[in-house]
Amino acid sequence: MKKIPTNELEVLSAGRRRKILRRLRRDGVSIPCADGVIIGAAVSVGAGTLILPGTLLQGETTVGGHCVLGPNTWLRDCSVGEGCVLNSVHGEASVVGDGAQLGPFVRLRPGTVLEKEVRVGNFVEIKNAAVGAGTKIAHLSYIGDAALGRDVNVGCGLATANYDGRHKHRTVVGDGAFIGCHNSLVAPVTVGAGAYTAAGSTITEDVPPGALAIARARQENKLRAKNGGDEGS
């Protein structure tokens, strides 16, 4: 087989890219600036969607209408619903429901399913997890091998501890639960519907529905004595 020179490959690739972008524009997709926008031939994008610079759509990705993708969003083999906003999102083999808002700086690993109107904030990673409609995962969290119900509020800094060194385990959070800031949920564990976990808790046992779980040591202050020693309080 004759080897095609690198410069010719670049020309062919650029021509193919322009052809795909022209087709999408004819179909009602808005691409105001094509800088860094690369879209595969098998990708489907709905009318009214805005694609911003630095967006890469690859594989069997499908995107609904009236979405905003980018800047700097990369999706491979993902399904994105209608009216979604994905700002600086890295996603692979994941499903995003209608009206979801993600980013900036979100990673969706394979097996992630986000239902409608889910909100995921900055520096959140989700892997092999189902997240119910209306749930909010604000920022700085890892959700792995988990099932979160509807209208759950996840505070800053949640980590699902899903790996015990040999096996992966699953975390379940019921509808309407409130997960406090800087929590660790050590799987396998279930937080019941409408339950609360206090900030700074490490949850290792199931929390009944509607209960408040507090799993942290009592604060103790050591005051400095006048003679240089310490006094407890």
What are the mean pLDDT values of the chain's consecutive 10-residue runs (233 residues total)? 60 76 95 94 97 97 98 98 98 98 98 98 98 97 98 97 94 98 97 98 98 93 76 54
In the prediction, which pLDDT does 225 show?
81
Answer yes or no: is 37 within a domain.
yes
In the prediction, which pLDDT does 22 show?
93
Could you say which of 79, 110, 141 is where a domain stops? 110
Answer yes or no: is 1 within a domain.
no
In the prediction, which pLDDT does 232 show?
54
Residues 40 and 100 in one domain: yes
Which amino acid is located at 134 in the chain? G
Q: How far apart are CA 90 and CA 106, in angstroms?
A: 6
Residues 143 and 184 in one domain: yes
Spatial strand order in the sheet of 178-179? 50-51, 68-69, 85-86, 101-102, 119-120, 136-137, 153-154, 178-179, 196-197, 212-213
Q: Domain span at residue 136? A: 128-215
* CA distances in angstroms from 78 to 38, 60, 134, 218, 226, listed in the order given: 15, 7, 20, 45, 64
User: Do residues 49 and 68 make contact, with C-beta atoms less than 8 angstroms apart?
Assistant: yes
Residues 144 and 209 in one domain: yes
Residues 103 and 30 in one domain: yes
Q: Which residues are known to be catalytic?
A: 139
Full-model pTM: 0.90
Q: How many domains does the chain have?
A: 2
In the prediction, which pLDDT does 116 show?
98
Domain CATH code at residue 208:
2.160.10.10
In the prediction, which pLDDT does 102 show?
98
HEC assignment per residue over the chain: CCCCCHHHHHHHHHHHHHHHHHHHHHCCCECCCCCCCEECCCCEECCCCEECCCCEEECCCEECCCCEECCCCEEECCEECCCCEECCEEEECCEECCCCEECCCEEECCCCEECCCCEECCCEEEECCEECCCCEECCCEEEECEEECCCCEECCCCEEECECCCCECCEEECCCCEECCCCEEECCEEECCCCEECCCCEECCCECCCCEECCCCCCCCEEECCCCCEEEC
Residues 150 and 96 in one domain: no
Answer yes or no: is 221 within a domain.
no
Residues 142 and 211 in one domain: yes
User: Do residues 94 and 118 make contact, with C-beta atoms less than 8 angstroms apart?
Assistant: no
In the prediction, which pLDDT does 15 show?
74
Q: Which residues does residue 50 pair with via DSSP β-bridges, in sequence order? A: 30, 68
In the prediction, which pLDDT does 2 show?
62
- Burial class (CB within 10 angstroms; exposed 0-12, middle 13-18, buried 19+) of 8: exposed
Answer yes or no: is 141 within a domain.
yes
Answer yes or no: is 71 within a domain.
yes
In the prediction, which pLDDT does 1 show?
59
